[in-house]
């Protein structure tokens, strides 16, 4: 059985990634906290590849990484790849986002998730990307999930990500889409 290092330090993302990966014939291990990778890429995919590749090389094992974020139309795609670096805590990030948007009528936004799997030598073996469209509310709703979930409303389901049952978020979210495309490919290289 191959070992797969899950290269994330974000507990919310890690929980979701582990749920997508359970049931696979891989021995999942967490990245050591001390191993931090600087996100110098200019796209979600560049940063996902960077994190997977550097963690794989440092540990000499297969690694999987996710780079994701929220792109808000009226803010020219911000916070985008800087979603984690926007402010220090989830509540401060939400507060800043709502302040920047003010009473702007255009609330369209999308979550994007890039996932990459690297071989033990650091080369990228697999990658995929998923998106989910929604709208930014004027105030938070719901307590599930993490990050910007309480202000990300999905009109089709009339709920924010933070109001959804985890199973529904997993199915329709940016991360869900990216993992649905990636899982059959991961299965094809297990062993
Ligand atoms: P790692 O790089 O260690 O995995 P990180 O939090 O720095 O952790 P990213 O650079 O990919 O990860 O930043 C993603 C940020 O985007 C994350 O901190 C959240 O604020 C936001 N985000 C991503 N997916 C989300 C989701 O499903 N729900 C809510 N917010 C999300």
Ordered domains of the chain (ranges, CATH): 2-190 (3.90.950.10)
For residue 1, the model assigns a pLDDT of 87
Q: Does 71 contact ligand 1 (Cβ within 6 A)?
A: no
CB of 117 closer than 6 angstroms to any ligand 1 atom = no
Tell me which of 12, 54, 68, 173 to substitute to probe ligand 1's pocket, judged by most ligand atoms within 8 Å of the beta carbon.
68
Ligand 1 centroid to Cα of residue 41, in Å, is 15
In angstroms, rounded to a whole number, what is the distance separating the alpha carbons of residues 182 and 128? 6
- What are the structure tokens assigned to 135, written together? 């709208």
Q: How far is the CA of 97 from the centre of ligand 1 (A)?
A: 15
The encoded tokens of residue 190 equal 């297990």
CB 115 within 8 A of CB 129: yes
Separation CA 25–CA 3 (nearest Å): 9
Q: Which residues are catalytic?
A: 67
What is the SS3 assignment for 109? strand
Count of beta carbons in the 10 Å neighbourhood of residue 54: 19
Residues of the chain with pLDDT under 50: none
Contact 5, 30 (CB under 8 A): yes
Between the CA of 2 and the centroid of ligand 1 the distance, in Å, is 26
**Ligand 1 binding pocket includes 10 (Cβ within 6 Å):** yes
Strand partners, 117: 64, 126
Nearest atom, ligand 1, residue 44 CA:
11
**Structure confidence at residue 189 (pLDDT):** 86
Take atom 18 of ligand 1 and give the residue whose Cα is closest. 84
Ligand 1 atom closest to Cα of residue 69: 16
Q: What is the CA radius of gyration of the chain?
A: 16
Q: Which of 123, 110, 108 is nearest to 49 (CA)?
A: 123
Determine whether the shortest distance from the Cβ of 83 to ligand 1 is under 6 A: yes
Q: Which helix (H) or strand (E) holds 72?
A: strand 62-72
Q: What's the pTM?
A: 0.97
For residue 10, the CA-to-ligand 1 centroid distance in Å is 7
pLDDT of residue 191: 64
Q: Is the CB of 169 under 6 A from ligand 1?
A: no
């Amino acid at each position: 059985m191959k070992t797969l290092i899950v290269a994330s330090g974000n507990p919310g993302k890690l929980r979701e990634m582990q749920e997508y990966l359970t049931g696979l014939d891989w021995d999942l291990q967490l990245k050591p906290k001390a191993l931090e990778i600087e996100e110098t890429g200019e796209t979600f995919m560049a940063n996902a590849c960077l994190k997977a590749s550097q963690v794989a090389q440092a540990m000499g094992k297969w690694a999987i990484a996710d780079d994701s974020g929220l792109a808000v139309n009226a803010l020219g795609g911000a916070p985008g790849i800087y979603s984690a670096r926007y402010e220090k805590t989830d509540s401060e990030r939400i507060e800043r986002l709502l302040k920047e948007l003010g009473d702007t009528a255009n609330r369209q936004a999308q979550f994007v998730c890039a996932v990459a799997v690297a071989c033990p030598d650091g080369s990228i073996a697999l990658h995929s990307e998923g998106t989910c469209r929604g709208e930014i509310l004027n105030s938070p709703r719901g307590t599930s999930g993490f990050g910007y979930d309480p202000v990300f409303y999905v009109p089709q389901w009339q709920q924010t990500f933070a109001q959804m049952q985890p199973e529904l978020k997993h199915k329709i979210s940016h991360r869900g889409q990216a993992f649905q495309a990636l899982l059959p490919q991961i299965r094809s290289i297990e062993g």
